[in-house]
Chains A and B, each alone.
Chain A
Amino acid sequence: MAKTIMTADDSASVRQMVTFTLKQGGYDVVEAVDGKDALQKLSQCKVDMLITDLNMPNLDGIGLIKGARALPACKFIPIIMLTTESQDSKKAEGKAAGATGWIVKPFKPEQLMAVVKKVLG
Chain B
Amino acid sequence: MLSDNKDGILASEAEVKRATAAWAASLGSVAAELKVVSGTTENEFLSIGGRLQEFYQRAGGISSVATELVGEVAGPQVGTAMNELQNILDEMAQYVNHAQKETDLSAETLNEVIALLEQVSAPLAGFKKINKVLRMLGISTKIESARLGQSAAGFDTLASDVGQLSIQVHEKAAIVLARKLDLEGAIRQTLSGVLTAGAQQHDLVLGILDRTRTSLAALTEVNSRCGTAATGISSSSDEVSRNIGEVVMSMQAHDIVRQQVEHVEEALRGLQSGLNGGAPDLDEIASVCRLQIAQLKHASSEFGAAVSTIVGSLHEIARKESGLTRETGCMAGIADEAGSGFFSAMQKDLSIVTSALTESSQANRRLCEAMGSVAETVREIGTLVADIETLGEEIKLIALNAQIKSAYTGDEGAALGVLAEAIQRLSVDAIDHTGAVSNALGGIRTVTERLNHGMTEETSALDEEVQRMVDTLLALLGTLRQVNETLRDSLSRMDTEVQDLSEEIEQVTAGITVHETTTRVLGEAIRRLEEIVADAQRIQPGAGQGVNLDELASRYTMHSERSIHSSVLGGGMPAEAGPASGGGEFDDNIELF
Contacts and interface: CB of A to CB of B under 8 A. Distances in A.
Given A102-B591, A115-B590, A110 B49 contact: no
B255 A84 contact: yes
Interface in B543-593: 557-559, 576-580, 585-587, 589-593
A99 interface: yes
B511 interface: no
B248 A13 contact: no
B248 A21 contact: yes
B53 interface: yes
Contacts of B249: 106-108
B593 to A, nearest CB: 5
B181 interface: no
Contact of B255 (A91, A105, A110): A105
Nearest to A92: B593
Given A84-B259, A86-B558, A114-B586, A17 B593 contact: no
A107 B244 contact: no
B252 A107 contact: yes
Contacts of A86: 558-559, 577-580, 589
Contacts, number: 109
Interface in B396-447: none
A119 interface: yes
Interface residues of A, number: 38
B251 interface: yes
Contact of B580 (A88, A114, A118): A88
A115 B592 contact: yes
A107 B589 contact: yes
B342 interface: no
Nearest to B60: A24
A105 B255 CA distance: 9
Which of A86, A108, A111 has most B Cβ within 10 Å?
A86
B126 to A, nearest CB: 105
Given A86-B579, A115-B586, A11 B245 contact: no
A118 B592 contact: yes
A91 B579 CA distance: 10
Given A102-B590, A105-B256, A111-B589, A83 B557 contact: yes
B21 interface: no
Contacts of A83: 557
A32 interface: no
A118 B42 CA distance: 32
B591 A20 contact: no
B253 interface: yes
Contacts of B590: 101-104, 111, 115
A84 B52 CA distance: 23
Contacts of B258: 11
Contacts of A101: 590-593
A108 B245 contact: yes
B149 interface: no
A17 B557 contact: no
Contacts of B593: 95, 99-102
A102 B45 CA distance: 25
Nearest to B559: A86
Interface of B: 42, 45-46, 49-50, 52-53, 56, 241, 244-245, 248-256, 258-259, 557-559, 576-580, 585-587, 589-593
